[in-house]
Structure 1
Amino acid sequence: MWKLEGKKALITGGTKGIGQATVLEFAELGAQVLFTSRSKEDIIAFEKELQQQGFAAKGMVADSASEQDRNKIKSWIDENWRNLDILVNNAGINIRKKATEYTEDEFRKVMEINLMAPFQFCRLLYPNLKESGTSAIVNVASSAALQDVGTGTPYAMSKAGLLQQSRSLAVEWAGDNIRVNSVSPWFTKTPLTEGYLHNEEKMNSILSRTPLNRVAEASEISAIIAFLTMEKSSFITGHNIIADGGMSITAL
């Protein structure tokens, strides 16, 4: 029960950061994995790395915000798997600016990728998830969904919406044996945060708010995601696991 043998999983944004760590985690646990990225070069490089480690996973060039690309993924799953056991909505972006400095296109882009795309994936793949009989969705949210962490208002709004999306679908789809949970990491070492964390002043501020006095590794978040898709977590749905090194329980 601590394995994912035979499970069929889709992971969006699967070539970098938390997504890449999740693909590797799932492959190690025996799952069949389909992962997406907008970069063909990144997919080829990661597939080669996985093969060298003895794992098989398929990458697909796709933009989560594109209806055409979502339909392409749906068609592949219909033709090759039919049922889908696991959906991890991980793909996301951020544009760090003051609220008054965003263009409408920038605001819409953040909301489209972080909030709308996961909802559309869930709806589109609902028949495949239902066909599984015991499926799980995990949405990768953020500590920014719960309190101000300096990531920008649109990003925080999108992730807060993702939390409520997870809770609402967990109730609506419980009768179909589709569990829906979310994970909210604090700052994690990923390409998305690399530039931010290299700023010494900002890094010191993060560490001062974090009792464990460090940022997370991507593999620490992927382990939580994996647990939420296993039979071991079969009575957990509609919950958000906060992985923040104790940040949210301090008053700093």
Structure 2
Amino acid sequence: MSQISKRRLDGKIAVVAGSTMGIGYAVARRFAQEGAKVIISSRKQCNVDAAVSKLTAEGLNVIGLVCHVAKAEDRKRVFDEADKLGGLDILVLNAAVNPMAGMVLDCDESEWDKVFEINVKAAFLIAKEGLPLIRRRGGGSIVFMSSVVAFHPVNFAGAYAVSKTALLGLTKAAAVSLATENITVNCVAPGLVKTRFAEYITETEAIRDSALALIPMNRFGIPEDIAGIVAFLVSEDARYITGETIIAAGGASSRL
């Protein structure tokens, strides 16, 4: 998108976990384009520095911090920074791992624990720890990032798919408990998006062609396709939506 016509997020403070590349980066960029102050983060300082450099070169208001989402001290550092800015209005949980490829019951216990530590437990903890700052602002929005495989599992990402299904339940439960506090909790489930995370599928010819055959739009998504949806969900335009999951998969089979 060459120009953002609306600045729906003026005055808002946002934290996007896992946001120095791919979908998270596109979400952070879109938030900043719409007027938010954005804290971006990832595990590696070099990635944080590179992302901050690119975004500030566009004149966008961003701060970058190293944050391994499984480390309590890193999460605290991020929320301390948000507190300095004035609090928190928007929280997006995008960090995820998929350390193994294979069927769910072939997953080693250590790999299973890693997937759930990052994809589910850390998402829960970040939401829990960010909630007091959101409450202090009188309301806000939380968005979890799931995947279309939460609805339609594939054998090469078995444990990952189960972890992403867990986020659907977390979204529903949190949304119900926070509905009277002016806090919306929603979820986005992307399909195959052209990122480094998915490049084994999108860039390997034999796999790419079979994957595209399952997508009626006959193209993979790009990070900006997802960023626009997240920006909508955290804006006033979506103030009456909570507990929902939006699937963005180019028409790929997911649910009725």
Pair in the same fold by TM > 0.5: yes
Equivalent-residue separation in structure 2 for 1:107 and 1:128 (angstroms): 31
Which of 71, 84, 92 does residue 88 from structure 1 map onto?
92
CA deviations 1:175-196 (Å, max 9, x no partner) are 1111000000110011100122
Task: Pick closer, same or farther for the CA change 1:113–1:250 going to 2, 3 Å.
Answer: closer
Stretch moving more, 59-68 or 222-231: 59-68
Could you tell me whether the CA contact under 8 Å between 1:88 and 1:139 is conserved in 2?
yes
Equivalent-residue separation in structure 2 for 1:140 and 1:201 (angstroms): 28
Stretch moving more, 92-101 or 17-26: 92-101
Equivalent-residue separation in structure 2 for 1:26 and 1:150 (angstroms): 34
Residue of structure 1 in register with 2:108 after alignment: 103
Residue of structure 2 in register with 1:167 after alignment: 172
Could you tell me whether the CA contact under 8 Å between 1:2 and 1:232 is conserved in 2?
no
| CA deviation after TM superposition for structure 1 residue 249, in Å | 6.1
* SS of residue matched to 2:253: helix
Could you tell me whether the CA contact under 8 Å between 1:144 and 1:151 is conserved in 2?
no
Equivalent-residue separation in structure 2 for 1:231 and 1:237 (angstroms): 12
Residue of structure 1 in register with 2:253 after alignment: 248
Equivalent-residue separation in structure 1 for 2:105 and 2:162 (angstroms): 15
Task: Pick closer, same or farther for the CA change 1:30–1:117 going to 2, 3 Å.
Answer: same
* SS of residue matched to 1:91: coil
CA RMSD of aligned residues (A): 1.6
1:154 aligns with 2:152: no
The one-letter code of the counterpart of 2:91 is L
Equivalent-residue separation in structure 2 for 1:12 and 1:249 (angstroms): 26
| CA deviation after TM superposition for structure 1 residue 151, in Å | 4.2
Equivalent-residue separation in structure 1 for 2:188 and 2:154 (angstroms): 16
The share of aligned pairs that are identical, in percent, is: 36
The one-letter code of the counterpart of 1:167 is K
Task: Pick closer, same or farther for the CA change 1:151–1:128 going to 2, 3 Å.
Answer: farther
Stretch moving more, 96-105 or 31-40: 96-105
Residue of structure 2 in register with 1:50 after alignment: 55
Could you tell me whether the CA contact under 8 Å between 2:143 and 2:187 is conserved in 1?
yes
| CA deviation after TM superposition for structure 1 residue 245, in Å | 0.7
Q: What is the total number of aligned residue pairs between the two structures?
A: 250
Equivalent-residue separation in structure 2 for 1:35 and 1:205 (angstroms): 35
Task: Spell out the pairing of 1:1-252 with structure 2 (5 A cutoff).
Answer: 3-78=8-83, 80-95=84-99, 96-248=101-253
Equivalent-residue separation in structure 2 for 1:175 and 1:182 (angstroms): 19
| CA deviation after TM superposition for structure 1 residue 137, in Å | 0.5
Could you tell me whether the CA contact under 8 Å between 2:102 and 2:155 is conserved in 1?
no
Could you tell me whether the CA contact under 8 Å between 1:135 and 1:179 is conserved in 2?
yes
Could you tell me whether the CA contact under 8 Å between 2:202 and 2:220 is conserved in 1?
no
CA deviations 1:77-122 (Å, max 9, x no partner) are 23x1342100000011113223354322211111111111111111
* SS of residue matched to 2:196: coil
Equivalent-residue separation in structure 1 for 2:74 and 2:220 (angstroms): 33
Q: Which runs of 4+ in 1 moved over 3 A?
A: 98-101
Equivalent-residue separation in structure 2 for 1:82 and 1:29 (angstroms): 18
The one-letter code of the counterpart of 1:39 is K
Equivalent-residue separation in structure 2 for 1:147 and 1:218 (angstroms): 21
Could you tell me whether the CA contact under 8 Å between 2:9 and 2:31 is conserved in 1?
yes
Equivalent-residue separation in structure 2 for 1:250 and 1:225 (angstroms): 20
